[in-house]
Structure 1
Amino acid sequence: MTDSAPLVVDLALLGGGGAASLLLAALDRHGVRDLRIAIVDPVRRRGQDRTWAFWGHPDTDLDPLLSASWRQVEVATAARRRVLDLTPLRYAMLRSGPVYDRAADAERRLDATRIVAPAETVRDDGTRVLVRTGDGRAVRAAWVLDSRPRPPARAGRTTWLQHFRGWWLEADRQVFDPTRAVLMDFRTPQPPRGVSFGYVLPVSDRYALVEYTEFSPDLLTDAGYDSALAGYRDLLGLDPAGLRVREVENGVIPMTDAPFPARPSPRVVRLGTAGGATRPSTGFTFSAMYRQADQVARALAAGRAPVPAPAYPARHRWMDAVALRALHRGGVGGPEFFDRLFDRNPAERVLRFLDGGTTPAEEVAIMNSTRLLPMIAATAGDAVHRVRDRLRPTRPAPAVPPAVVGDAPGATLTTRRGGPPSGEDDVRAR
């Protein structure tokens, strides 16, 4: 194949991480067999290089791939520890290895062509899209599905980051409760500007992911993350002498009301974080990414354009913008905000809201559970800024943090097994 003779396909996937892997599996699941497909990505994804956590109903096609799932989760503050029953939902952990394996099987059955090179230029003339790769090849596609990381179209009114470090801990004895995950533990020291919490995702009574997370405008130093995570380990009462760190994860996830256009041109569709799948108020992405893949596959199977629905309703994006502004301006405290949500609403309603699945009536109940005056002030401030955005030229978007890579929620540095970072980490997406 040369520049003068591009590969002609019906569908080109740019990026090969989580979003593309889920899409390949969905195409296979829905029996799409008559499309010519090309995958353009500089990396062949294999093994456990990322972790997703999400909530949903059990007995889905993902169940055989899960590392663990929990019907109960814990939300803790300095005042109390609350155990939440998620029925009929469950919280689940999915590591990347089984997802990549399933995608590789689907890729073979779909007879897709893989080009191991970066996509450098994408030109859409309204009828076809020409993709040129870093090694001089070209692909001409009827449709392009692009899951590569992209900055937002303009700067947000509020831009925070969800940033974290996690240790995969193996214990010498039974120290974890595999029947219950810790979703948010706000007993961690709170930063001057932002909110912090820990969480625990146990795979067994001796093996778990223990993580420290902050929602804030700025990142910590490596020493800061290690100190905060060690402090959370001690707060849990875990004896470091009886623990081994098997893997380390670091990540940065955008939390912003900045827009991520899902369809930048007539025949280019963005998926994953670049397509708006990351929820601004929480950083969760997997469920929306899975929905996007399923909707695209169903559309193609029915002969329709591969354009998914918006990842979240417009009213949810507005509510996220208001909540981020209230947190940013200090009108509400993070631990108090989330504690009131879970205290005054069924856990299942809160989780469905965070996943974009509640009704307007349920959203009124959720809004009524927050402190009224700070939220009114944040709503008014958000409205003023929306008017200003319409009246002035578009502000440039900030640069994507160096650690934000891949097509899943943020980035992870997964070290070699057997110890903490050694300077030879691979940058991976989480």
Structure 2
Amino acid sequence: MAAVEELRADVALVGVGAAGGSLLRQLVRGGRARAGDRPLQVVALEPPAGAGQRSPERSWCTWGPPGWRHDADVALRWSRVRVVDAAGGAVDARLDPEEYRLVRSGDFEAAVAAECAAAQGVELRTAVVEAVQDSPAGALVRARTPGGGELLVRARWVLDSRPPVLPEHVPAGRTVLLQHFRGWRVRCPGPVFDPGAATLMDFRVPQPARGAAFAYVLPASAHEALVEHTVFSADAWPAAAHEEALGRYLREVLGVDGWEVLGAEAGVIPMTDVPLPARAGASVFRLGAAAGAVRPSTGYAFAAVQRQVDAVVAALAAGEEPLAPLPHRRRHLAMDAVLLRALDSGAVAGGELFARLFARVPAPVLLRFLDGRSSVAEDLAVMAAAPRVAMLRTVGALLLRAPARRRSAAGPGDARGVPPGR
């Protein structure tokens, strides 16, 4: 009979990725997890490497001014961004004093583990969580250790940062798209890439009937870059289809004769206006993508996760329940809902829309909008750059709560267990 181990904690954290790791770091700054002036006991659970419940290593990107609190984790950074339309016309913009930056999940998670090992009050355990539920004195987490034993964690609060599960049936008036991608870290024999610029979207790839497709290029040098093929659509593509598109892009668009694949990344990110509540029980709360951190219009989440983490840390310090707030402004979510429906219904061509926005709105303003830091005046500038007739018709459809296009049976399942945004 397998052994049963029981632990007690103030906070049990499920998942130590972008959201869970960021929370741990903020809790142990100063060398000890604390709730105000009181020491805090935290047990964090993460599946073992290679387990199906654990996301593979991947890259997270965000942008903002210098002096970022995770600056030591940044592997690559760029002061210029580029968007290329289907005809090859490029918008190349400087972000100074801001920057676009990439953090590798493996580096980030290693730094979190090192900080927690040097701090008091945090215990990191390797286990696969099987159930999370309320209990009379708080909440209970049931997990399975690599050796097959049962681990029970009884805590006052549980923060669950595992990826969201999409509804099988999309509510009327709501939209669910999937951002699915596959990327190669390639090394080319000759100079191919501009190491000073991150290409956020290159639309010189075949476009789907509804949604959008583009290449995403993050150079490390003139010879090496992470090159991804990304699609916004109702259902995810198989890996082979993405890899065929990647090969065609490298050969036919960038003119590369040969390359070496150093590594690969893949993911499926939900882009939806379906509400994802942060409360999952009386003492159980969600954090990160499962609590709505993913920006519906882009799939980015890392910056929003930091806003949630700050609020949760402040709540714990005050002795209050750690309920993560919605990290996006309601007007931005309303604009995102219109964009998602316009893409999903085919009211606008995604490639044309995004290229038009970057051509008509200064890149720093558009990135502030996508990050949720834009002013009302800047939001109005973004709205003015969009195709008005198509967007007004889409608003009408949303107000009438017209049903969304039906998803295939494979759609929601493909999005389960995905990493939290780019």
The 3-state SS of whatever aligns with 1:7 is strand
What's 2:292 paired with? 276
1:25-57 CA-partner distances (Å, limit 9, x unpaired): 121226634111111232259998111111111
1:88 aligns with 2:97: yes
- Please, which moves more after superposition, 323-332 or 40-49? 40-49
1: distance between equivalents of 2:395 and 2:193?
42
1:41 aligns with 2:41: no
| Aligned twin of 2:280 | 264
Contact 1:2 1:138 in 2 (8 A): no
Q: Is the 8 A contact 1:147 1:407 kept in 2?
A: no
1:372 aligns with 388
What is the match of residue 121 of structure 1?
Answer: 131
After superposition, the C-alpha distances for 1:90-137 in whole angstroms (9 at most, x for unaligned) are: 111110222112211222213422332222222225751122223433
Within the alignment, does 1:105 sit opposite 2:109 as a pair?
Answer: no
Name the amino acid aligned to 2:315.
Answer: A
Select 2:81's aligned residue among 61, 73, 77.
73
* In structure 2, C-alpha distance between the alignment counterparts of 1:223 and 1:406, rounded to whole Å: 18
Find the residue that maps to 2:342 and give its secondary structure: helix
- The answer to whether residue 199 in structure 2 is matched with residue 185 in structure 1 is no
1:25-424 maps to which residues of 2 (within 5 A)?
25-29=25-29, 32-33=33-34, 34-43=39-48, 49-79=57-87, 80-108=89-117, 109-125=119-135, 128-134=138-144, 135-152=149-166, 155-156=170-171, 157-241=174-258, 243-385=259-401, 400-402=412-414, 404-409=416-421
Alpha carbons 2:199, 2:217 under 8 Å: kept: yes
> Which runs of 5 or more residues in structure 1 are unaligned?
390-396, 410-429
Deviations 1:183-238 (A, max 9, x none): 11112121222211112101122211011111111232333212211111124434
The SS at the match of 2:294 is coil
**Shift in CA distance, 39/399, structure 1 to aligned 2, threshold 3 Å:** farther
Amino acid at match of 1:28: V
Asked if the contact 2:289–2:420 (Cα under 8 Å) also holds between the matched residues in 1, the reply is yes
Worse-matched range after superposition: 128-137 or 271-280: 128-137
Amino acid corresponding to residue 25 of structure 1 in structure 2: R
Aligned equivalents of 2:47 and 2:184: distance in 1? 28
TM-score by length of 1: 0.85
Q: Is the 8 A contact 1:57 1:88 kept in 2?
A: yes
Q: CA deviation at 1:303?
A: 4.0
Is contact 1:167–1:246 with CA below 8 Å preserved after alignment? yes
Q: Give % identity.
A: 41
Structure 1 ranges of 4+ moved more than 4 A:
44-48
Q: Partner letter of residue 377 of structure 1?
A: R
The answer to whether the Cα contact below 8 Å between 1:15 and 1:407 also exists between their aligned partners in 2 is no
The offset of 1:169, in angstroms, is 0.5
**AA matched with 2:244:** S
Please give the per-residue CA displacement for 1:121-177, whole angstroms capped at 9, x wherever unaligned. Answer: 222257511222234332111111101123246625222111111110112233222
What letter corresponds to residue 89 of structure 1 in structure 2? E
What amino acid sits opposite 2:115 in the alignment?
Answer: A
CA RMSD of aligned residues (A): 2.7
Higher alpha-carbon deviation: 146-155 or 158-167: 146-155
Contact 2:235/2:411 (<8 A) preserved: no
Q: What's 2:12 paired with? A: 12
- 1:306-336 Cα offsets, whole Å, 9 max, x none, are 2332121222222111111111122111122
Q: Report the equivalent of 2:21.
A: 21
| CA pair 92-129 structure 1, distance change in 2 beyond 3 A | same
Report the TM-score when normalising by structure 2.
0.87
Aligned partner of residue 413 in structure 2, secondary structure: coil
SS in 1 for 2:326: coil
SS of the aligned residue for 1:307 comes to: coil
Write the letter of the residue equivalent to 1:232: Y
What letter corresponds to residue 179 of structure 1 in structure 2? G
Residue deviations 1:226-270 (CA, integer Å, cap 9, x gap)? 2211111124434233x2111112221111221211112232221
Number of residue-to-residue matches in the alignment = 401
Distance 2:62 2:335 in 1: 21
- Give the Cα separation in 1 of the matches to 2:312 and 2:3: 30
1:409-428 deviation digits (Å, cap 9, x = unpaired):
2xxxxxxxxxxxxxxxxxxx
